[in-house]
Amino acid sequence: MANAKMTFLSQSEIALIHTQSLRALEEIGIKVHSIPTLKLLAAKGAHVDFDTGVAKLSETVVTDALNMAPKTFKLCARDSKHDLTLPAHPYPYATTSGLAVFVTDYKTGEYRHSTCRDIAEFSRLSDALSPDFLWTALTANDVPKRAHGPHELWQTMQNTLKHVQGVTVQSARDAQVQIELAALVAGGREALKTRPLMSVISCPLAPLSFEAGAIEAQVEFARAGIPICSMSMSLGGLSAPVTVAGMMMNANAENLASLVITQAASPGAPHVYTSESAPMDMLTGNINYGAPEKALVSFGLGQMARHYDLPCLVADTGFGDNVSGGLEGVQYIANQFIGPTAYTDIITGMGCIDNAKGVSFEQLVIDAYMWDFFKDFLKSVEISEEMMGLDAIRAVGHGGDFLSSDHTLTYLRSDLTQWDQAKLDLLSLDEKEMAEAANKVVRETLADHVVPPLDDGLVKAAEKIIKSYEKEISDL
């Protein structure tokens, strides 16, 4: 089957990035701010200096981890019809943005700090639209700061039947609480390990560093069978070399190091090669999500993940300043479409605005409709003698037409895309009208879409777990 993908690196360039990444890990090493994690690495053959917190990883240590990592696994869901098998085919799985601190209130238009109620409603809207699974998209600003991760996970899991990917990992204890909550829904710890209803984003600190709380949480998640997404945020000119090659090499090295830690914690634990890397905007200091170099990094890292035979998340969509989109505007369309043509299994970013600091319900509708439109360009196409239709051409004859050909009638609907006209009509509006039309979709969807509730006993058990954790951290 033919499938459109962007190839950026040659085989020799892939080999060079791999070689330089290994040199970085062995000669420079990684800074790990966690003694227990350093001990895990030492037990796996890393050369560890406990005084400096630097672990140097040999090629053998990295290769062993690559050999242990599963090449395919599932992101499971409350409803198994939403289970996702990685790697994805023919097009990536799409998810929402993650952990914004602001939301545009779809009822009042106010741009404000997000709450648990916003998380619940945004999750329910996402459940109804085309995201294949959900990140914990918003920060719960109305709960104790050190307990916001479990609240975000629980609000999201209650309001979708799809897989949930957590974005907050603050400590090993925080991870244990989130695992407890997910296990309630799965039916126990072993059931969760068999069918991981959640996965988690765990970010290294570029360049080549791992913060104590996040990496110790990663170890806990790995041991529980929760898939880890090792999101390198290598920002060119700030936390990584400014060049495309430098950003790719640093992100690749961090992904390999994170994989080593996952496999040291639990051999065979599921792990997703992940990057949200881009150059820094030298004028503003922000991440330059619109830079062409961001797409090039995505292309290259997607190829690196395929080289290692690892599932990956290396591209995203959206990231407008305000509610925007539609079929006009070259930069937005480029952002929406070019990244997913990389060798990526997951794209993220639906619904975000303000350079990912905020989310908008209306933007989620627009992004979902844009993705519904664009993913057809990535569909699989059968290239075979039957599909080429030589016999049909013979039957029609010179100068004839195929309007009534049996070949046309057989394959018209299966091989040609039939777009949803109502969605195209919305995307064809100007910016103001499109936002208004999207708001109408939000209101109608939230009024009609119902996610089957969890059992009352589970909800009460989860509330007890969270309250106990809040008390525990308040006593520290």
Q: CA-CA distance, 473 to 476, in Å (whole number)?
A: 5
Q: Is the pLDDT of residue 470 over 60?
A: yes
Q: Is the pLDDT of residue 329 over 70?
A: no
pLDDT of residue 59: 98
CA-closest candidate to residue 234, choices 272, 204, 212: 204
Which residues lie closer than 8 Å to 10 by C-beta, 6 or more apart?
none
Which residues lie closer than 8 Å to 418 by C-beta, 6 or more apart?
none
pLDDT of residue 321: 60
Q: CA-CA distance, 56 to 49, in Å (whole number)?
A: 9
Exposed / middle / buried, residue 363 (Cβ in 10 Å: 0-12, 13-18, 19+):
buried
Q: Is the pLDDT of residue 328 over 60?
A: no
236 three-state secondary structure: strand
> Which domains, ranges and CATH numbers included, belong to the chain?
67-378 (3.20.20.480), 385-415 (no CATH)
CA-closest candidate to residue 84, choices 201, 198, 221, 169: 198
pLDDT of residue 168: 86
Grade residue 301 by pLDDT with cuts at 50, 70 and 90. Answer: very high
Q: CA-CA distance, 67 to 34, in Å (whole number)?
A: 25
CA 282 remoteness from chain centre: 26
Q: CA-CA distance, 155 to 349, in Å (whole number)?
A: 19
pLDDT of residue 431: 85
CA-closest candidate to residue 324, choices 443, 441, 420, 430: 430
Q: CA-CA distance, 460 to 301, in Å (whole number)?
A: 43
Grade residue 187 by pLDDT with cuts at 50, 70 and 90. Answer: very high
Q: CA-CA distance, 98 to 94, in Å (whole number)?
A: 12
Exposed / middle / buried, residue 224 (Cβ in 10 Å: 0-12, 13-18, 19+):
buried
Both tokens assigned to 447: 């009024």
The answer to whether the beta carbons of residues 130 and 368 sit under 8 Å apart is yes
Query: Distances from the Cα of 390 to the Cαs of 3, 48, 384, 401, in angstroms?
Result: 22, 65, 11, 14
Cis upstream peptide for 70 (omega within 30°): no
Q: Is the pLDDT of residue 455 over 70?
A: yes
Pick left, alpha or beta for residue 70 (phi over 0 → left; psi -120 to 50 → alpha; otherwise beta).
Answer: beta
Q: CA-CA distance, 153 to 179, in Å (whole number)?
A: 10
pLDDT of residue 332: 58
pLDDT of residue 196: 98
Q: pLDDT tens digits, residue range 14-31? A: 999 999 999 999 999 999
Amino acid at the residue 476: L
